[in-house]
Amino acid sequence: MLQSGIQENSGGVARYYLAAEARNLPVSTEITGYAASTFAFLYERTADARYLEAAVRAQQFLTRQAWDESLRIFPFETSPGSPAYFFDCGIIVRGLLAVWRITRDQEPLDIAYACGRSMGRDFFSDSAIHPVISLPDREPLPYEKRWSREPGCFLLKSALAWHQLAEITADSRFSEWWERALEFAVSNDPQFLPGVDERIRVMDRLHAYSYYLEALLATGRASLLAAGIPRAAGYLREIAPQFGRSDVYAQVLRVRLLADSLSLVPLDDAAAAEEARSLSDYQYQSDDPRLDGGYCFGSRDGELLPFANPVSTGFCLQAMEWWHDRAAGQFDAALDQLI
């Protein structure tokens, strides 16, 4: 995360590093939000000032370059005419709150609060959360048959921003919006998986469903987690030989560990150990500092794909840190640390 160049001079973080072409994809506001949370997590574990500096640089890119003050929202990208995604906005807010947690600087909290309010204003309908709106008119874009462009339970991960803001600010609107998002998500749960016939695309939807499981940890709904975790793990094991994603392994493992820690669902030790072993197969060991230590996005038919992914790296390093903590009898994670 520090040596690879995935965080550019602006403080923004690139979506992927394309290993075969030796170049980064453009900076992404959403990915920078994830990176801010990752750097904050690493700083909390190590007290290494380099992680603090990287977290603040990511935060300042978001609050001073990506934030649209006139619209009070984060566009999908910084280019003119870009729409806004509910999911991305929530991830960015959570990244800003992660930096606020370690710095107590007012700027990230103020922008997180403003964006959280805009999310409640702009994305709700009577029966769902619109995933994408046009800017500047804030009109919902037509839904498409892919998980990121239609309403679904996965949006609850970003609604966690409201849950956190409610706890930090005591603003009751955030609690109301969180409860409404939870109701929508739970109603969508039964039909989200498999959702498509093509097995490869089910793995992508499994990544999204795992976001929902992560957010359920904040609800205390043990029965939903007890049903959802083995359901997700079953699809993962069925499809991974053909198409595996490192982030899904990490997501399922993190949910297992936190659900056990919160006394919601007892840990399946054998399944968790298998997921941790599988995660290690996706980590690069390379003389190239742009790759070394990072995690590959995924694999096809057992062969790693040429994409070093900062989000996969954040999810995987957190899952493995927590797995080792539990083995040492030292697991003590807080839900707001979840990247």
Structure tokens, 37: 């949370």
Walking along the chain (339 residues) 10 residues at a time, the average pLDDT comes out as: 96 94 94 98 98 98 97 90 96 98 98 98 94 97 94 98 97 97 97 94 97 98 98 98 98 98 98 97 95 96 94 98 97 95
Q: From CA 293, how far away is CA 313, in angstroms rounded?
A: 8
Instruction: Put the strands of the sheet holding 303-304 in their side by side order.
Output: 243-245, 298-300, 303-304
The one-character DSSP state at 18 is E
Cβ-proximal residues to 197 (8 Å cutoff; 6+ apart), any chain: none
Query: So what's the pLDDT on residue 261?
Result: 97
320, 254 in Cβ contact below 8 A?
no
Query: So what's the pLDDT on residue 107?
Result: 98
Query: So what's the pLDDT on residue 20?
Result: 87
Q: From CA 4, how far away is CA 310, in angstroms rounded?
A: 10
Give the bridge partners for 133, in sequence order: 84, 140
Give the bridge partners for 84, in sequence order: 133
Q: From CA 13, how far away is CA 55, in angstroms rounded?
A: 11
Cβ-proximal residues to 263 (8 Å cutoff; 6+ apart), any chain: none
75, 85 in Cβ contact below 8 A?
no
